[in-house]
Structure 1
Amino acid sequence: MQIEKHISDLLYRYQCVTVPGFGAFLTEIIPAHVTGSASSFFPPKKVVSFNANVKNNDGLLANHVALQEKMSYELAVIKINEVVNEWSYLLQNRNRVVVKNIGEISVNNEMNWVFEPANTVNYLTDAFGLSSFVSPEITREVLHQQVEALEERAPIIFTPQRKRNYSYLKYAAVFTVMLGAGTFGYKMYYDQQILEQTLIVEKKVQEKVQQQIQEATFVLSNPIASVALAMPEEKLPYHLVAGAYRSEENANKAIAELVAAGFEKAKMLPINKHDLYPVVFASFKTLKEAQAERKAIQKSHSAEAWLLID
């Protein structure tokens, strides 16, 4: 099973992909920037990092593997565990684990895992088709010095030419300007006359309408009851996920525990395409608010909280 391909596919859509029992691959969006004296342009991209402390199974990778490989969820979990055991064995023996198109994981002298991103794939779909390029430096001063050197060796001599008499063009230009001014003035006069006549007609129509309104008597035998217009709900596309459950009952229990812990905005999202009920700490209007709350919750309550974007 090519688990690297499944992780790579999920990184395009999610900011966090957890490999159960091994760690989580996280992404962070870096805006476009220009560096260096040669003006090297780099488009916006998602930078991948690795956190070995996030190991719990959130169901995302296992469900994706089950759908793509056409197997059961339980079998997908077993297949993932086999890959994790192989990776762990390699790292324990100080070998590198190469995750294609994502990065390499190695072990340093203190037996800590070190992740080096591949940086060969941009997982930001908004930047599709953009690539880095270098704008060549403009050498205006060098070209100017070359021209001066050529002039010293071969001076340029300008030969005066006989001037032609174009005085008749001045009279033609004056005539054209006068003709245009006369046409413009007539048009303004004509438009003003049309505007005045239109205002007179509109005034008469308004007077007639007002007179009919004053003479009319309105009687409503069956008045229509007032209709309450429901204001559209504010869209909150950024959700801070606490977990995903196959049972709606378990999801409701998780919500009750979160509310008891002080998360009054905890709720359950509609069932997703993996037949799971996501439970969120809260939903937010902007990405900045969601990321700030995620850092606070990861420090104080749960390090496994991750961000879901509709």
Structure 2
Amino acid sequence: MQLETYISDLLYRYECVTIPEFGSFITHRVSASINETTHTFYPPKKAVSFNEQIQHTDGLLAHYIADLEKIPFEVAAKKIAKRVSTLKLFLLQGKTVTFNNIGELRYNSEGKILFEPTYKLNYLTDAFGLSPFEAPAIIREMHKKKVEQLEQVIPLNITPEKRKSRPYFKYAAVAVIAMTIGGFSASNYYTNKIETYNELAQEEATKQLDTKIQQATFSLNPLPAITLNVTKQSGNYHIIAGAFRVEENCNKTITQLRKAGFNARHIGKNKYGLYQVAYGSYESGKEALKAIREIRKTHNKNAWLLVKKLD
């Protein structure tokens, strides 16, 4: 009789399987884990242990054998008792008893049974089909260096987006229209218009950044100069052309924009440490909306509006 086969079957469904007058195999759930040294992910499982103190039969094993072999319960119980006598004899002789797919049993120097489980089977049915796997470590600093190298060649137009995998790319539009700007008042109509434009810019940037990260989304190819009434370089409405990690790229962009007819300027760093370049700054929301419509139409469709009081 292959006793270990029957025990193995029952371990999938029960937490305790008792061999009368011998001991019990007990399972408990173990959560999924990660080996940080080998970067190996292990699924949840049932860990198996053996307790020789629990020997009182509950009839589970005998009933299962009787049902499978189509024999009376008493006959199944006698078969188990006979196998137990053989197991104890092997252990007294100093031999190791092996239960396939469960583990090995042997006596220690004090005459107690030692159990060494095997890990060939996962008795947790919830984890069926799952197996350990290795994944290489993510070295984020390497990605950062690659981006900086890319920006040396092609300036990146970092617009507001929601990017989870690379936090140093995050650049959100500051659109807090509700705050009070000292000495400045604007009508609710223009405030709502500006907020709408900021939201549209953020949505558009989120869709485009993933597909355009390997190429410049802000291109300063020779284009016909456009004439805008942007003589003022003060105000809290700023049309943003791009943001750059390297200050040299920021300065180059300002020079190119000025050659194209814009009153471009550097408006400082944002909270992510990126240098921001503006096409221009405006005193009123009406002027800013008129200018950004023209810029998006003729020069850079990714331009967006930043509402902020500069220091």
TM-score (norm 2): 0.47
Kindly indicate which of the two structures has a greater share of residues assigned to helix.
Answer: 1
